[in-house]
Every structure is written in C-alpha cells, then in structure tokens.
Structure 1
C-alpha cells in the first residue's frame, strides 16, 4: 500500500497493486469523519483519463453524499487499518 497523491486536509489517494482507494475527510455539521472508498472500474478509468482533476471531483462527491450513496461503500477492517498506517507513515516522512 502506498500514497500516490493527496490534497492537504481533504483526501489521500492510495494504491495496493491494481486497486485504488481514496480516503476523504468529511464533515456533517460539527462532526468530522472519513470515508474510505475503493474505486470501481468506472472510477478507475476516469482517474486514468483525468488524473487529479477527477480525484477532486470524486472527493467532493464523496464529501457531499458521504452519509447516503457512499455510506455502504465505506471500507472498515483490515484494509482501513492498513490505509491509516500508510497515511501516518506518509505524513511523518513528508
């Protein structure tokens, strides 16, 4: 697992072999939380075509719909822990 790109205080984009993940810092009223989403085939294709511009659009969409359409796609468990550790290491190294 490694960080490919990020937007400070908003999102981190990671890869694990052929899989892509985006971890988005979200908020609802005064409550902050994150949504970790694995990109599906369509989203991965859009990323490959449009790069960081697409990631910003996707992160904005995830932020807006975090509690509805992206709620069920939120990853928890071992991958979530791996992503968190990778982001913490990335932050300490940079």
Structure 2
C-alpha cells in the first residue's frame, strides 16, 4: 500500500494493488476520527480524469 496523493490534515489517497482507498480525517468540535473508504470503479475513473480536485470534493462529503 502506498500514498499517491494527500491534503495535509485532510485526506490521504492510497493505492492497494488495483484499489484506491480514501482516508479522511473528520473533525467535529472536540471529536476527531478517520474513516477509510474504497473508491468505486466510477470514482476511480473520475479521479483519473479530474485528479485531486475530485478527491477533495469527495473527502468533503465524507
């Protein structure tokens, strides 16, 4: 597994074989936690077309 893109204190895009995983840091007041989601084939394709702007928008909805 390797980090292929990131936004400091926001998210990491990881590649694990053929899979792309998005690790997002979520903060609400005094509570902070990470969630990791596997990108769907459509999301992975959108990342290939739009790049990091797509991942930033996706992370904001997490």
Q: For this structure pair, what is the TM-score category when the shorter chain's length is used for normalisation?
A: over 0.9
Question: Residue 74 of structure 1 corresponds to which residue in structure 2?
Answer: none
Structure of larger gyration radius: 1
- The root-mean-square deviation of aligned C-alpha atoms, in Å, is 0.8
Structure number with the higher helix fraction is 1
Q: How much has 1:29 moved relative to structure 2? A: 2.9
Query: Which aligned segments of 4 or more residues in structure 1 are displaced greater than 6 angstroms?
Result: none
Q: Distance in 2 between matches of 1:49 and 1:11?
A: 19
- Select the structure that is richer in strand: 2
Gapped runs of 5+ residues in structure 1? 63-94
Structure 2: gaps spanning 5 or more residues? none
Q: Is 1:51 aligned to 2:43, yes or no?
A: no
Aligned equivalent of 1:2:
2
Q: Distance in 2 between matches of 1:33 and 1:14?
A: 17
How many residues are treated as equivalent by the alignment? 62
1:32 aligns with 2:36: no
